[in-house]
Structure 1
Amino acid sequence: MDNYDVLFHYFELAAALAGSYYWLKTKEDAVRPFVWYLWMTVFIETVSMYTYLYSYFDTPLINWIESSIISSNTWLYNIYDFISLILIGMFMIRNTNKDFSHRIIKIIVLIGSVLKVIYFSISGDFFIMSLPYNLAVQTFALFIMFLLYLRELIQSEQILNFYKSHVFYISLGITLWYICLTPLFIFDSYYNAVNENFIVFRGLFLDTFNILLYSCYTFAFLYSLRHKKQLAMS
């Protein structure tokens, strides 16, 4: 584990704490699925670090894990991807109003979830690898959800105050993250021990965008809460 990994976890935790603080102050049910998503991210990222223990400890338990089917933390991230799509879908449904948007989001979540279950049931690769083109599928799904949210935002009076909405910053941030990261993982076949330059670039690029993303989440909650407090005082 390097310093960037530790720093990244602090940004994840900060975003989860900011989301929790926002919810405690506003009691908005619409934000709860995303707060759950943030805390799940912190939990999964923390637990998945068990693979680092292989280099530091030589105990029967660690040796057993290293030689078992869960030696790689891929299975954790497969669970994470599955639940993430559901929670983000719930978040977008609660922050859109039209039945059309709700139906499309539910269809996207259902298709994405069913595809993952079918693939891993047939392939048996749940503990070995993620769903092929998973990031591209997630990008498409989130992009459609964001467009549905923007469509309703543009058609409503809330467009005048969009810059005060945490939903806008969260939706924009996560959509841009997926769009920017997808090309990187398309060239993931170059990610091997031989191509050291790509390894360094990939790690730096990913860490930078992760920090920016979770900084965006933290900003979204605190900035929106600030405007709500000002509105309540006026």
Structure 2
Amino acid sequence: MNLIHHYVELIAALCGSFYWFKTRDRRTLPFIWYLWLTVTVETLALYPYFYDIDNWFFNYLENSVMKRNTWLYNLYSILGLILVGLFFYRHIHHRLSKNIIALSVAVSTVFTIIYFIVSGDFFKMTLPYDMAVQTVAIFIIVLFYYRELLQSDKILDFYKSHIFYIGSAFMLWNICLTPLFIFDGYFNPSNSEFIQFRINVLLVSNLLLYVCYSFAFLNTLYHKNRLVLRK
């Protein structure tokens, strides 16, 4: 059980919380909630590793519809997109862009909920091409942020903004890993090489992603402190 990515996720959430305590930036709160949601879900999702323990609780889980942790990630996918969408919604000022972001998140969320209600597969499997649907939504959201950034004076100081690093890293992560999840059909015991490749790619990608999140918060705080000292 490799826990390295759990540690970097926790560090990113702590950096986000530290940023909040220093700045009280309410617009960034949804993304900090998203980071803590990630830490919580990734921690709770470890429960299948404890089925060998002779305990009534784990025995109950092993024989229930929650045997697999798939339902946790299905819930995480819905809540995560809402929080990320809200984060960018609060940082974008153009009314049309805000409306399209809200619509993108709403359509994706409603479609996912309807699918699981109709199929009854919430505890069994993830939404087919869920990663592709989420990537399209994230791509739209981040592009609107870039559009507004290019049309404002903030483009001169983009490297000081945590939003730029968070949006860029999140979009690249989704775009690069979507093909990997599309080929999830090959994720079975007979394809040990693909399984190892998938594990390695996810590990490296997650490490880079959450290190980038941590850097985004600390870098912004550094520039804010320099600005205060100059005054």
| TM-score of the two chains, using structure 1 as the length reference | 0.97
- Equivalent residues in 2 for 1:93-112, closer than 5 Å: 93-112=89-108
- Name the counterpart of 2:47: 50
Pick from 191, 211, 214: which aligns with 2:210? 214
Q: Which residue of 2 aligns with 1:37?
A: 34
Residue 20 of structure 1: aligned partner: 17
The equivalent position to 1:197 in structure 2, one of 181, 184, 193, is: 193
- Higher alpha-carbon deviation: 60-69 or 154-163: 60-69
* Residue in structure 2 matched with residue 72 of structure 1 by the alignment: 68
Q: Give the Å deviation of 1:188.
A: 1.2
C-alpha distance in structure 2 between counterparts of 1:62 and 1:32, whole Å: 34
Identity of aligned residues (%): 52
**Structure 1 residue 60: Cα displacement:** 2.7
Mapped partners of 1:47, 1:58: distance in 2? 18
Q: 1 CA distance for matches of 2:61 and 2:107?
A: 33
Structure 2: unaligned runs, 5 residues or longer: none
Give secondary structure in 1 for the equivalent of 2:122. Answer: coil
**1:62: Cα distance to partner?**
1.5
Counterpart secondary structure, 2:101: helix
CA distance in 2, matches of 1:193, 1:107: 40
How far apart are residue 59 of structure 1 and its match? 2.4
Decide which of 125, 133, 137 is 1:137's aligned counterpart.
Answer: 133
Compute the displacement of 1:221 (Å): 0.2
In structure 1, the partner of 2:117 is 121
Say what the alpha-carbon RMSD is for the aligned residues: 0.7
1:174 to 170, 186, 191: 170
| 1:6 and 2:6 are equivalent in the alignment | no
Cα distance in 1 for residues equivalent to 2:166 and 2:56: 44
Q: Compute the TM-score of the two structures, normalised by the length of structure 2.
A: 0.98
Deviations 1:69-98 (A, max 9, x none): 000011111111110111011100111111
Task: Please tell me whether residue 89 in structure 1 is matched to residue 89 in structure 2.
Answer: no
> Which amino acid is the alignment partner of residue 77 of structure 2?
D
Runs (4+) of structure 1 exceeding 4 A deviation are none
Q: Matches of 1:188 and 1:119 in 2, distance apart?
A: 19
**Runs (5+) with no aligned partner, structure 1:** none
Alignment pair present for 1:226 and 2:222: yes
1:151 corresponds to 2:136: no
* SS of equivalent residue, structure 2 residue 147: helix
SS at match of 1:183: helix
